[in-house]
Amino acid sequence: MRQKRGAASGLNVVMLGPPGAGKGTQAERLAQKRGLPRISTGDILREAVQRGTPLGSVAKAAMDAGRLVSDDVMIGIVQERLDRDDARHGFVLDGFPRTVEQASALDRMVNGRGSLVVLDVVVPEDVLVRRLATRRICGRCGSNAAVHWTSACEKCGGPLVARVDDDVEIVRERLKVYQRQSQPLVDYYSVRGTFHAIDGNQPADVVTAAVNAAIAAATAGGVAL
Ligand SMILES: [Zn+2]
């Protein structure tokens, strides 16, 4: 059984944002800064499948059949992860929740563990399309190319090539799907004082500063930064 904890004891963060918004980078930076685990749905799903947990097996069966993993299974896998010791002072969730049902389950999980801060990293669609469609990787070592790498990989000198899954039409479709799925979630959270939209159309360090400011505002009177 989980113990009830004081209201200010944990820093529980959900990061929302479309593909290409830089959400993963910001989640990683925030987690490191605060000494919290970054919990990415993709990672914990893979881990549950690899470990062959009961929920992992159900998830694997769904994925093998080309189906989405159900809300119930995702919720169970996240619950198991949040119950682990390293998440007792909080967490940075990346990729969960995806639906209102998952969000309401998360509210129940977080109940008694401190407040839930929701950060929505917002970037205009045209900027996302440009970012995703012009994303390059090194054809030799596979590194993601930094924006200022113009012709060759700065790590190994290899040629920069386009990622095959970043075709403009595919990118636009992915963003449309994201938008359709995430709007109910944003509606669910945006009425709360702990919801913050973050302008993601800025250099990564500026976005990081905005994330930290939002955390400070959301936890005012709580943990010092
Ligand atoms: Zn390289």
2 assigned to active site: no
Each residue of 171-208: pLDDT tens digit? Answer: 898 899 999 999 999 999 999 989 999 999 999 999 99
174 assigned to active site: yes
Any bridge partners for residue 136, and if so which? Answer: 162
Any bridge partners for residue 111, and if so which? Answer: none
With beta carbons less than 8 A apart as the criterion, state whether 131 and 17 touch: no
With beta carbons less than 8 A apart as the criterion, state whether 123 and 18 touch: yes
What confidence category does residue 27 fall into, taking pLDDT thresholds of 50, 70 and 90?
Answer: very high
Considering the entire predicted model, what is its pTM? 0.81
What confidence category does residue 165 fall into, taking pLDDT thresholds of 50, 70 and 90?
Answer: low
Q: How far is the CA of 120 from the centre of ligand 1 (A)?
A: 32
With beta carbons less than 8 A apart as the criterion, state whether 27 and 139 touch: no
E strand or H helix at 1: none
Q: How far is the CA of 212 from the centre of ligand 1 (A)?
A: 32
Average pLDDT over residues 198-221: 91
What confidence category does residue 78 fall into, taking pLDDT thresholds of 50, 70 and 90?
Answer: very high
Average pLDDT over residues 34-46: 92
Average pLDDT over residues 161-180: 83
Q: How far is the CA of 55 from the centre of ligand 1 (A)?
A: 38
The per-residue DSSP string of 108-174 comes to HHHTTS--EEEEEEE--HHHHHHHHHT-EEETTT-PBPPTT--SB-TTT-PBEEE-GGG-HHHHHHH
Give the residue with greater pLDDT, 145 vs 30. 30
Q: How far is the CA of 142 from the centre of ligand 1 (A)?
A: 6
Q: Which of 139, 222, 219, 122 is nearest to 175 (CA)?
A: 122
Catalytic one of 60, 130, 135, 172: 135
Coil, strand or helix at 95: coil
Whether pLDDT at 223 is above 60: no
